[in-house]
């Protein structure tokens, strides 16, 4: 789905699946954090050099790493669909962008609820910078979701203008 030879529809589906991946990741992260809490509760943890620090920073690295990979997957899918943009009409880009914004806004309440659950975890202060990262990530995820749909809409409009400009000049560079 994220491959270089995917059709525009497969690429669009890849973009939708990355949105769903963000929802799933933010929902499952609470469970992952609970497992880190279990590891942090080991009584002789301080006996192991570096392991305690790895446990403290591990959730931040996991949280940011997976969000980064999902963002890369979205970008890759977008670039694949944009490369084949000549086969995708303007209306499809605009409709998909609007549907993408609608889907994102419908699912964002789940993301916010999950992130708030993470913030309410009693042990969040045990993890280096996790509270700050989670607080900031809500705004970044929101802006990314809105801009992603808007970018698809603008791509459709730009592609239409390019086609109209090429038709007006008959491909010769001069007006018809």
Whether 127 and 59 have beta carbons less than 8 Å apart is answered as yes
99's CB contacts (< 8 A; 6+ apart) are 149
pLDDT digits (tens, 9 = 90+) for 62-116: 999 999 999 998 888 888 777 765 556 777 778 888 888 999 999 999 999 999 9
Q: Which of 86, 136, 111, 109 is nearest to 21 (CA)?
A: 111
> Using CB atoms within 10 A of its CB, is residue 104 exposed (0-12), middle (13-18) or buried (19+)?
buried
Q: Is the pTM of this model over 0.75?
A: yes
């Amino acid at each position: 789905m994220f491959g270089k030879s995917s059709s525009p529809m497969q690429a669009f589906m890849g973009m939708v699946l990355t949105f769903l991946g963000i929802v799933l990741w933010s929902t499952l992260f609470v469970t992952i954090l609970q497992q880190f809490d279990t590891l942090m509760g080991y009584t002789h943890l301080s006996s192991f050099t570096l392991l305690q620090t790895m446990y403290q920073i591990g959730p931040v690295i996991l949280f940011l790493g997976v969000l980064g990979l999902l963002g890369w997957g979205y970008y890759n899918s977008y670039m694949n669909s944009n490369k084949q943009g000549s086969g995708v009409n303007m209306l499809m880009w605009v409709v998909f962008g609007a549907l993408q914004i609608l889907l994102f806004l419908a699912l964002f309440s789940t993301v916010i609820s999950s992130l708030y659950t993470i913030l309410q975890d009693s042990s969040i202060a045990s993890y280096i910078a996790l509270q700050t990262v989670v607080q900031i990530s809500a705004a970044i995820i929101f802006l990314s979701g809105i801009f992603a749909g808007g970018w698809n809409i603008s791509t459709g409009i730009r592609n239409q203008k390019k086609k109209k400009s090429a038709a007006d000049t008959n491909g010769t560079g001069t007006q018809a």
